[in-house]
Structure 1
Amino acid sequence: MRGLITVLASAASLNLCHGSLVLLRDASPEVLAAEALTAPIIVAERALPNSPSGGYAPASVDCPSTRPTLREASSLSQSEVSWLEKRRNNTVAPMQEWLSRMNISGFDATSYINGIKDNATALPNIGIAVSGGGYRALMNGAGFIAASDNRTNNATNTGQIGGLLQATTYLAGLSGGGWLVGSIYSNNFSSVEDLRDGSKGSSVWQFGNSIFEGPDNDGIQVLSSIDYFHTIVDEVSNKEDAGYNASITDYWGRALSFQLVNATDGGPQYTFSSIAQEPNFMNGDTPFPFLVTDERSPNTAIVSLNSTVYEINPFEMGSWDPTTYAMAPLQYVGSNFSAGSVPSNEKCVEGFDQVGYMMGTSSTLFNQFLLQINSTSIPSFLRDIFTNILTNLGEDNNDIAQWEPNPFYHFNNASNRNANSKQLTLVDGGEDGQNVPLYPLIQPQRHVDVIFAVDSSADTDLNWPNGTSLIATYQRSLNNTVQNGTAFPAIPDSNTFVNLGLNTRPTFFGCNASNMTGDAPLIVYLPNAPYVYHSNVSTFDPSYDRTEKISIIENGYDVATMGNGTLDKEWPTCMACAVLSRSLTRTGTAVPAACSTCFDRYCWNGTTDASTPGNYTPAFKIAELSAASSAGIAKMGIYVAALTASFIVMLA
């Protein structure tokens, strides 16, 4: 019965999605020609399907001789400290090469890095944060990662920034940005080019079929839509049969995995903690990945700015906030950590951190559909139906990611808001307003110097960012009850962002470290803007043909490079100056004249204009690739309905 209902609802969803309200986006001949020239590339398959159940369900295992325990979040884990020793050494050569190629006039980057390479505290420490925003965020963020990756074709040519990724220590994502980060690492740190182009027989990053349809029959396995939904339902049922509660996030994460993990059935047996056992990560050859998620208080639909924020990394999950203030070993996170340790008479559990469930946890925003549904274009009778469905989900606590058992049960009882709850309730990491995942990167224990903040948020009526996420993080840093010693540069109001054009071009925040209290990083803000394509598609748009995908990624590449230097040929130099800024201060090195020029050009100088701006409709910065339509906006209401219908029935 469950499978039949699922298939019927899926069919209904497809009818909605392909109704007359859907507008087509056209592709230019140039884009179509570029597609024809694109050769398929083989995407690396994961080598470590290590769930002990052999599938999606967690399973009991013998605990290691040193039984896993929780720890207070007063320092980095020893695992991260040991990893950093390898990674920081491995960033020296690519950083030296990258800085030299960025061509800072009058500055010998090679000599400078050689002089400090044996002192990790003097070396620049780079972080990248990729915002949420559904597939829009995945693809725009992918453009930045592709531009930063020296494996991308032509990314090390003049005007390009390839190699920044190889010099980076940390890479964070949430929601759609978390899909990007999770997919890259789930596929052995494949390049964006490899993931974008895929290979015959793979459904990875093939977004033409939405997750409500399933992959084409020529994918990595032959599945009809009926088989696709049966597979998802059966896998989640196996988790329930093993004694674990299932929520809509289980189905959501499983469906996403078919598009994001290059393995049969989306790799149900792959875990996020297995990243720590991959040779390229173990050897410090890749940055350190994070996903970010928010805690939602029981019996509520609102996530406020003082909600507890959690990070998920290959070693641990937990929160630096003074509320929970604890870290749990991710590999064993499904174990019964009562009061911080697994009882001596109980076994440990592995496999709870299934990679799709981790990506789903960071992007669980079904309660936001309920909060926003009245502003959509859904007909009133459908709005009433879906409001009732979502309300029932919320009442049953199924509209969230249910982490049960709660790893932090009876731990830090005096401050932990969920210390007495056997379930930890987690939702999309951007629901507290911090849609750019800066949280793990601004923790003082990590000493990050510069963060490239890639913002694909839909803050305005037309789905463009206006700095709201940076404002939220700044405001949170001023709240002594949750900030835990984090420092963040001053950020102006969202009206100033629009009125001064700070949301249309790169802007540096926190340029003068001497004017700040605490060890705050320099923020290089990179907002999504229309360089060559209308990349402001809706967060709730679940399908994109190949032309759309390539065009949005290319637009993100142009955001990263300012149109390959077309808008500012000195932009690569200015990026390098941002990377060096804190290091130059620590070593007492004079700021090169070229960097002073860059800082004058890109640093926010404190000017504000809080007057209400007019409608924000940015023009193309270079030249339009295609006649992009407003389909993403028009489809939003329809896809809310489709999303709800397809997944709610799985819980029936």
Structure 2
Amino acid sequence: MVSLLGLVVYLFSYAALITALPTQRAISGYAPVAATCPATQLVRTANGLSDAESNYIHQRYQKASQALESWLKSVDETFEFGQGSWDSHGGWSDWAGQGKAPVLALTSSGGGYRAMLAGAGVIKGFDSREVDKTGVSGIYQALTYHAGLSGGSWLLSSIAGNDFPTIGSLQANLWDTTLQNSLLVPQILLSPQAASVYSAVEADVQAKRSAGFEPSIIDPWGRLLSYALLYGPDGGVVDTVSGIASTSNFTSHNAPYPIITALGSNRLIDGTCIPQPNATQYEFHPYEFGSWDAGVDAFVVTEYLGTSFSNGEAITCVTHYDQLGYVLGTSSNVFGSICSAVPAENSTAVSALTLVEDLAEIVAVGHPGIPESEIFGLYPNPFHNYPSSALVSAQPTLELVDGGVGVAYQGNPIWPFLHREDVDVIIVNDNAADTQYNFPNGTEILHTYQAAIAAGLTRMPVIPSVATFVSEGLNQKPTFFGCNTNDTATIVYIPNFNYTYPSGQPTAKIQYYKNETDGMIANGVEIASYGGKASWPLCLGCGIMKKSGGTLPNGCAACFKEYCFN
């Protein structure tokens, strides 16, 4: 197995090699392009949902609540259900005095291909469109939001970027082949069979530089990942985050609203490269990019990422900077943790295989390979000189990294839903590698709780210590947090566990053979269904509906005793 850290060295060298090659290249569809600026305002202060998101959620909620009712009634007909409505102020209203259908969100954690495949299995178990049904099939149709981070962003991008197909179809028609023939393995990338891909990625990175934008290690990283995740021979080169809004399942509101997260580095602000516990959390979605956090507190229209702004006014407009591969690569940017320029002994004649095998080359004295700035996901700062964005207003570029790195890493993208007060239930699928065996132990969700308290956010329910997590086995079974606190969201915590397959695979594993892909996804289905436990569908329904205001089935009391932490 090729190590991920070794791959980092290769990609740095690969990026340097690309910039040194003067050979003629084909025209690339990857580069950002100049555009006419619209008359509408592109930057806004973060004072609630945008009109575009609010309108989408209004339509999505109607379908999601109907799907939730259908699933609940299939589990137990005595669930009392009210759908609610979305009022003119952008908030939920009770319906017929029965309370409202809760707004559900799913989070898919980081953890490389392990997290992607385990998370895919969870969705497969939740999706009523799949051929093989579980007791929880239908929950996916009841989601209003879905957030992904790092490996979870790979999963979410592969779903949203391909117009929200089933996991079964992605598995059979894409991943079984592309993960086995992984372009992240240098021996495969440098083979004659992959020569056209190698050339195309060269051209893409060079085209971005020629368009006037500094490439970084995230450009080849995201492009190579995309060949595994997006249909077509070109690795989704023209796909953008904003383009998701034009897909058929999105325009018909048949899909949960997708959000990809990343962290900001303060390297240009105070010299602190590694994200600290209070690092700014950014989110990318079809309509906007930005952050709710103090010091940024603003959003920009996603389609116009890359545009030059000052005080919220567009100077020179650009589109296609929100290229989907670049965004999913940004969300999985573990390279930023190196926090230094990376030298190469000979960046114009590099031996990739030697560099992958010899990790010592990272600190070898030699000619400089990649400057420190190019280890980040680089975004021209849309909040330059913007009054509400005091933390970043002076810097021309935002430098972003994986949300699962830093001093108090948070591998679960819960943060967006602590700012969306109408999200009632957050299903947290945790596929972290907190232990030596690559399973979660509560560390990362605890970090989110601690960061939320420090930021004055009150919607996160109490999360216990790691010692309590492990001693009570909360890291090996579903748990409900916030059952009895009406002012917080309910978190349905579903951790990775090896029911039928050794699912604690290393985060650095960058190649999965077909049997491994299928085994990981099948185990994920078991995670969703709690190993097929007969009472789980009822108990999950009880946990979702506990705060809705309706009458619950008689069996819910036993469920709360078993699953509610507090």
Q: CA deviation at 1:424?
A: 0.4
Question: Which of 172, 176, 191 lines up with 2:166 in the alignment?
Answer: 191
CA–CA separation in structure 2 for the residues paired with 1:251 and 1:476: 32
Q: CA deviation at 1:166?
A: 0.7
Q: CA deviation at 1:381?
A: 10
Distance 1:108 1:576, change over 3 A: closer
Q: What amino acid maps onto 1:327 in structure 2?
A: F
TM-score, structure 1 normalization: 0.75
Q: CA deviation at 1:499?
A: 1.3
What SS does structure 2 have at the residue aligned with 1:80? helix
Which residues in structure 2 correspond to 1:208-287 (within 5 Å)?
A: 208-213=180-185, 224-287=193-256
Q: CA deviation at 1:388?
A: 4.2
Quick check: 1:400 aligned with 2:376? yes
CA–CA separation in structure 1 for the residues paired with 2:131 and 2:535: 21
1:34 maps to: none
Conservation of the 8 A alpha-carbon contact between 1:124 and 1:580: yes
Quick check: 1:364 aligned with 2:342? no
Q: CA deviation at 1:387?
A: 3.4
2:3 maps to: none
Q: CA deviation at 1:391?
A: 12
Distance 1:182 1:74, change over 3 A: same
Conservation of the 8 A alpha-carbon contact between 2:181 and 2:188: yes
Q: What amino acid maps onto 1:417 in structure 2?
A: L
Distance 1:272 1:118, change over 3 A: closer
Conservation of the 8 A alpha-carbon contact between 2:67 and 2:138: yes
Q: What amino acid maps onto 1:231 in structure 2?
A: A
Quick check: 1:349 aligned with 2:331? no
Q: What amino acid maps onto 2:560 in structure 1?
A: F
1:134 maps to: 112
Which whole-Å deviations, capped at 9, do the CAs of 1:554-600 have from their partners, x for residues lacking one? 111101101222xxx1100011111112212xxxx444431121110
Distance 1:381 1:207, change over 3 A: closer
Q: What amino acid maps onto 1:524 in structure 2?
A: V
CA–CA separation in structure 2 for the residues paired with 1:389 and 1:257: 33
CA–CA separation in structure 1 for the residues paired with 2:266 and 2:294: 16
Q: CA deviation at 1:118?
A: 8.3
CA–CA separation in structure 1 for the residues paired with 2:118 and 2:426: 17
Q: What amino acid maps onto 1:416 in structure 2?
A: A
Q: 5+ unaligned residues in a row in structure 2: which ranges?
A: 1-6, 15-26, 94-99, 341-353
1:531 maps to: 499
Conservation of the 8 A alpha-carbon contact between 1:71 and 1:340: yes
Question: Which of 70, 88, 101 lines up with 2:61 in the alignment?
Answer: 88
CA–CA separation in structure 1 for the residues paired with 2:522 and 2:367: 39
1:100 maps to: 73
Q: CA deviation at 1:449?
A: 0.8
Quick check: 1:460 aligned with 2:435? yes
Number of residue pairs aligned between Structure 1 and Structure 2: 518
Q: What amino acid maps onto 2:387 in structure 1?
A: N
Question: Which of 430, 438, 454 lines up with 2:414 in the alignment?
Answer: 438
What SS does structure 2 have at the residue aligned with 1:87? helix
Question: Which of 592, 595, 609 lines up with 2:556 in the alignment?
Answer: 595
What SS does structure 1 have at the residue aligned with 2:283? strand
More divergent stretch after superposition (77-86 vs 134-143): 77-86
Percent of aligned positions with the same letter in both sequences?
A: 34
Distance 1:206 1:389, change over 3 A: farther
CA–CA separation in structure 1 for the residues paired with 2:41 and 2:177: 36
Q: CA deviation at 1:495?
A: 1.4
Q: CA deviation at 1:265?
A: 1.4
Conservation of the 8 A alpha-carbon contact between 2:110 and 2:153: yes
Q: CA deviation at 1:440?
A: 1.0
1:563 maps to: 531
Q: CA deviation at 1:215?
A: 11
What SS does structure 2 have at the residue aligned with 1:318? strand
CA–CA separation in structure 1 for the residues paired with 2:128 and 2:102: 19
Which whole-Å deviations, capped at 9, do the CAs of 1:457-502 have from their partners, x for residues lacking one? 00011111001111011101111xx34x442111111111111111
CA–CA separation in structure 1 for the residues paired with 2:107 and 2:141: 15
Q: CA deviation at 1:206?
A: 2.2
Which whole-Å deviations, capped at 9, do the CAs of 1:161-186 have from their partners, x for residues lacking one? 11111111000000000000011011
Distance 1:366 1:283, change over 3 A: same
1:550 maps to: 518
CA–CA separation in structure 2 for the residues paired with 1:390 and 1:429: 31
Q: What amino acid maps onto 2:120 in structure 1?
A: A
TM-score, structure 2 normalization: 0.86
CA–CA separation in structure 2 for the residues paired with 1:176 and 1:419: 30
CA–CA separation in structure 2 for the residues paired with 1:501 and 1:126: 25
CA–CA separation in structure 2 for the residues paired with 1:351 and 1:284: 24
Q: CA deviation at 1:370?
A: 7.3
CA–CA separation in structure 2 for the residues paired with 1:423 and 1:129: 28
Conservation of the 8 A alpha-carbon contact between 1:294 and 1:429: yes
Question: Which of 143, 151, 174 lines up with 2:129 in the alignment?
Answer: 151
Q: CA deviation at 1:383?
A: 3.9
Quick check: 1:338 aligned with 2:310? yes
Conservation of the 8 A alpha-carbon contact between 1:324 and 1:412: no
Conservation of the 8 A alpha-carbon contact between 1:215 and 1:258: no
1:639 maps to: none
Q: What amino acid maps onto 1:600 in structure 2?
A: K
Conservation of the 8 A alpha-carbon contact between 2:123 and 2:140: yes
Which whole-Å deviations, capped at 9, do the CAs of 1:517-554 have from their partners, x for residues lacking one? xx321111111111111111111110000000000111
CA–CA separation in structure 1 for the residues paired with 2:102 and 2:187: 43
Distance 1:175 1:593, change over 3 A: same
Q: What amino acid maps onto 1:123 in structure 2?
A: A
Which whole-Å deviations, capped at 9, do the CAs of 1:320-367 have from their partners, x for residues lacking one? 001100001000111112111113xx4x21100001001001000013
CA–CA separation in structure 1 for the residues paired with 2:494 and 2:138: 18
CA–CA separation in structure 2 for the residues paired with 1:390 and 1:96: 64
Moved over 6 A (4+): 214-217, 378-381, 389-394
Conservation of the 8 A alpha-carbon contact between 1:160 and 1:572: yes
